[in-house]
Amino acid sequence: MPKRIETLVLHDSTTPVIGDIEKGGSVVLTTVETLINQARANSLWPLTFGLACCAIEMMSTVASRFDLSRFGSEAFRATPRQADVMIIAGRVSKKMAPVLRQIYDQMPEPKWVISMGACASSGGVYNNYAIVQGADQVVPVDVYVPGCPPSPDALMFGVLKLQEKIKRQKAKTLADLRLVDLKPQARAEA
């Protein structure tokens, strides 16, 4: 299907330029694609998925001192069906890996993953038979946050990097915009 992106008039020229939104004459011009990317990037809802000590730092990011809500991501959800970003905070044991994958599969599209800390990203100091040597062996990871543990600031930087990545996404077809769930049947069976 050929790419078809509509041009929309947003509002007047006094509005600041956001991202790659183009300013033209007395109006601000953008595309549906850019609007969708902006909306998605600035309203990430993380899944509550703490696995070890890194989770304490993850919790701190939504507390008053760091306040992740400044970037629209303070709504941590307790169910994968209401979340679109999984923050893997802590080591992934081999026993937990299938659970991690199932929860990831239950998240609706589009979805993203942040691997928080050395353990989640590479196994960290736990180079043994019980720990998965990198969460990317189980789910696709979009952003890796280094550290042991990463500070709340580092996780927030990771969220900002994910926002940049989402804003850069380009749709080649209408399906790439992922406005509708193309496989509702498959999800119901999950």
Q: Which residues bind ligand SF4 (CB under 6 A)?
A: 52-54, 90-91, 117-119, 124, 148-149
How far, in Å, CA of 183 to CA of 61, rounded?
Answer: 34
How many CB atoms within 10 Å of residue 51?
A: 20
For residue 116, the 8-state DSSP code is E
Nearer to ligand SF4, 47 or 118 (CB): 118
Complex with ligand SF4: residue 135 or 171, whichever CB lies closer:
135
Residue pair 174/6 in contact (Cβ under 8 Å)? The answer is: no
Nearest distance from C-beta of residue 103 to ligand SF4, angstroms: 18
**Integer Cα distance of 18 and 151 in angstroms:** 28
41 or 155, CB closer to ligand SF4?
A: 155
Q: How far is the CB of 141 from ligand SF4 (least distance, A)?
A: 15
**Residue 116 CB, nearest approach to ligand SF4 (Å):** 7
CB of 51 to ligand SF4, least distance (A): 7
Q: At what angle do helices 152-167 and 32-41 cross, to 10 degrees?
A: 170
CB of 27 to ligand SF4, least distance (A): 48
Q: CA 100 to CA 167: how far, in whole Å? A: 26
Beta carbon nearer to ligand SF4, 17 or 148? 148
Count Cβ atoms below 10 Å from residue 28 Cβ, excluding itself: 20
149 versus 152: smaller Cβ distance to ligand SF4: 149
Q: Do residues 45 and 55 lie in contact, with contact meaning Cβ atoms separated by under 8 Å?
A: no
